[in-house]
Amino acid sequence: MSRSVTTHEVERQDVVLPGAFDDVVAAFERLVPPIDVAALESAETWDQAVALTNGAPQGFLVYWRVDVGAGTAGSAFSGRAVAYLVGNHVTAERMARHDPQVMLHAPLRMLIHDDPQGATHLVVDRPSSYFSSYGNAAISEVGGELDDAVERLLEALGA
């Protein structure tokens, strides 16, 4: 058995967004629409898979969504939170062709939550802090592009 371990630092961004929790979630989900998973799984060509990214206003799609608050009803956690896997399979492929391990971090995890003072936060790890750990310039370059895309999304949300 062979095993390697890579230690890397991750930068987490916690951004307070203007607006009530429900309004921020609705705005986020308009800007980052869900992927049609069935269509993606049934795509017979790469061109068909690429076409599924059309219409993603910020270049991101939601691959998974869970209402964390609903899942913790009755527990000591009393906040509202929605967790997402957000990405773009075309962008991810540009990295995975160099090292399939990048798919551990693509799509990106994002969380929208409220705090006890009523502020709404979007939390995301800076993509380049993951992808630079692979030691490949092409992967790191895409990681930097993803940093920029996350910033554009945050700006579109009013940050």
Q: What is the pTM of this model?
A: 0.92
* Residue 152 buriedness (CB in 10 A; 0-12 / 13-18 / 19+): middle
pLDDT tens for the chain, residues 1 to 159: 899 888 889 999 999 999 999 999 999 999 999 998 899 899 999 999 999 888 788 899 999 999 998 877 778 777 899 999 999 999 999 999 999 999 999 999 999 999 999 999 999 999 999 999 999 999 999 999 999 999 999 999 999
Query: Structural domains in the chain?
Result: 12-156 (3.30.310.70)
Cβ atoms of 73 and 122 closer than 8 Å: no
CA 10 vs CA 3, 13, 36, 125, 132: distances in Å: 22, 10, 30, 7, 10
CA 150 vs CA 76, 147, 154: distances in Å: 31, 5, 6
